Amino acid sequence: MSIQVYNTLSRQKEPFQPLNGNDVNMYVCGPTVYNFFHIGNARPFVVFDQVRRYLQYRGYNVKYVMNFTDVDDKIIKRGLEEGISPQEVADKYVEAFFTDVEALHVTRADLYPRVTEEMSEIIAMIAELIETGHAYESGGDVYFSEQTFADYGKLSKQTMENLVAGARVDVNDKKKAPADFALWKAAKPGEIAWPSPWGEGRPGWHIECSAMIRKHLGEQIDIHGGGVDLTFPHHENEIAQSESCTHKPLAKYWMHNEFVNLNNEKMSKSTGNFFTTRELLEKYEGGVLRFLLLSAHYRNPVNFSEELVENAQNGLDRIRSSYANLTHRLETAVDGDADKVDVEQFRGQFTAAMDDDFNTADGITAIFELVSDANKYLRQETVERGALQAYLTILEELMGVLAVPLAAEEADLDAEVEALIAERTEARKSKNWARADEIRDQLTAMGIVLEDTPQGIRWRRK
């Protein structure tokens, strides 16, 4: 069975067939770098990192590009607030971006183009749109003429009348029609600006992505991704700009992830309804947050809460505990091959889930069923080394595809060890010897040595 991808353009799942054999070009709209990103912003970073990883797992060669918008009204405003230049604001939050996504186990994209470094390509594309009659200059601004692109609205599946009625449309005397959108904005006093044939200014948001895709990935790409809120107007306008120049479909597959909500409302910096990922990483392990975001299908909304994080932590602990116990039992296992257990069924279940529009939720279910099967095998008095190794190998493989570590990070490990020791102490006080022995075995499998001292139990790593 081939991979099936839900295409926003067609509103249905389609077989995944790249434009060029096994080579996949993928572009995802990245952050506007003026602040730490919140956990809702983190979702597309994790989701499309996961899409890329799974395609690579299935044998595709993926070139992945994500942009940084490093010139914007919000960046200019933040610079004034912090007393630094817009460039310094962007540099500061680009660095913060890399720190935080790496904590979420996101592999860096192949390329992160920045708007300020692509100005010549952006200006050239605007000039081409003017020359072909799709754009016009007006008082130092340049606008795309929506009426010149017959397919406008094909991604969002709306008529122009509905789109204009439902959107915040900037109406001014410079535009020929209310729905026309800016490709170039004339400079305002004191703002950062670049020279152009139409005077000093800076680009509109939408043209930036069109120009960067064309430069770094070509006239057509396989996958264009982003949050569902980008469907209109951003992605709709990208299509209009790019296809007016090339007369070719910009992307074969359009993928959009749903929101992470807080209190059942979309997270938003403008309303203050959000947690930054950096704040959450001070409380929770990055692997747990990644596991949480992958525990729902990317096209389903997530309502963030502490209870949801705890559920993710408990689920991941269950997987890690099984892995630790499998590792520990290798020391006392008897010789034997892997024929006694059937782990291939779980790889098949996982792959079938992921082939169905990258359904990580069902993929994780397959891993839980693998763990249940492994735990059942571990309850036998005698276990065989080959069988244990088969469970370990498939568990490492599938969790590796999800990029969720099978060991807690150092600081989190310390807290986990202390909690297990405290639980073991209570179990011994209540004469629950079975639980005490189970915790001791778990700690041993984690490489922890317990020592009785006059001051109480101490622990160290092997």
What's the pLDDT tens digit per position in 34-66?
A: 999 999 999 999 999 999 999 999 999 999 999
Q: Which residues pair with 459 in a beta bridge?
A: 450
CA dist., res. 285 & res. 104, Å (int): 8
Residues annotated as binding site?
A: 29, 209, 234, 238, 269
- 264 pLDDT higher than 90: no
- 455 pLDDT higher than 70: no
Tell me how long the chain is. Answer: 462
Helix (H) or strand (E) holding 93: helix 86-103
3 state SS of 222: strand
185-194: per-residue pLDDT in tens? 999 998 899 9
* CATH number attached to the domain at 16-113+258-302: 3.40.50.620
Query: Residue range 382-409: average pLDDT?
Result: 94
305-402, CATH topology level: Four Helix Bundle (Hemerythrin (Met), subunit A) (1.20.120)
Residue type, 220: Q
Residue type, 410: E
Lowest-confidence region among 134-138, 160-164, 354-358: 160-164
pLDDT given for residue 1 in this prediction: 66
pLDDT tier, 453 (very low <50, low <70, confident <90, very high otherwise): low
3 state SS of 213: helix
Residue scoring higher pLDDT (328 or 452): 328
pLDDT given for residue 410 in this prediction: 61
Tokens 């057509």 locate to 220
Using CA atoms, how far residue 219 sits from 29, 149, 150, 204, in Å, is 17, 17, 19, 20
Output the average pLDDT for the chain.
92
Report the predicted TM-score, pTM, of the whole model to 2 decimal places. Answer: 0.87
Residue scoring higher pLDDT (165 or 134): 134
Residues annotated as binding site for Zn(2+)?
A: 29, 209, 234, 238
Calculate ∠ Cα 249-352-57, nearest 5°.
Answer: 65
DSSP secondary structure string for all residues of 157-193: T--HHHHHHHS-----TT-SSTT-EEEEEEPPTTS--
Left if phi > 0, otherwise alpha if psi is -120 to 50, otherwise beta: which for 139? left
Query: Residue range 235-262: average pLDDT?
Result: 97
pLDDT tier, 454 (very low <50, low <70, confident <90, very high otherwise): low
Query: Residue range 339-362: average pLDDT?
Result: 95
Residue scoring higher pLDDT (65 or 157): 65
pLDDT tier, 164 (very low <50, low <70, confident <90, very high otherwise): low
What are the φ and ψ backbone dihedral angles of 399, each rounded to 5 degrees? -70, -30
For residues 98 and 108, is the Cβ–Cβ distance under 8 A?
yes
pLDDT given for residue 161 in this prediction: 65
- 159 pLDDT higher than 80: no
For residues 223 and 3, is the Cβ–Cβ distance under 8 A?
no
Lowest-confidence region among 17-26, 127-136, 227-236, 432-441: 432-441
Tokens 């081409």 locate to 128
Query: Residue range 122-140: average pLDDT?
Result: 98
409-433: per-residue pLDDT in tens? 765 667 777 788 888 888 888 888 8
For residues 344 and 315, is the Cβ–Cβ distance under 8 A?
no
Calculate ∠ Cα 408-411-412, nearest 5°.
Answer: 40
pLDDT given for residue 233 in this prediction: 95
pLDDT tier, 147 (very low <50, low <70, confident <90, very high otherwise): very high
pLDDT given for residue 166 in this prediction: 46
Residues annotated as binding site for ATP?
A: 269
Domain with CATH 3.40.50.620 in the chain: 16-113+258-302
Please state, as a whole number, how many other Cβ atoms lie within 10 Å of the Cβ of residue 116. 18
Domain with CATH 1.20.120.640 in the chain: 305-402
- 341 pLDDT higher than 80: yes
For residues 29 and 236, is the Cβ–Cβ distance under 8 A?
no
198-247: per-residue pLDDT in tens? 999 999 999 999 999 999 999 999 999 999 999 999 999 999 999 999 99
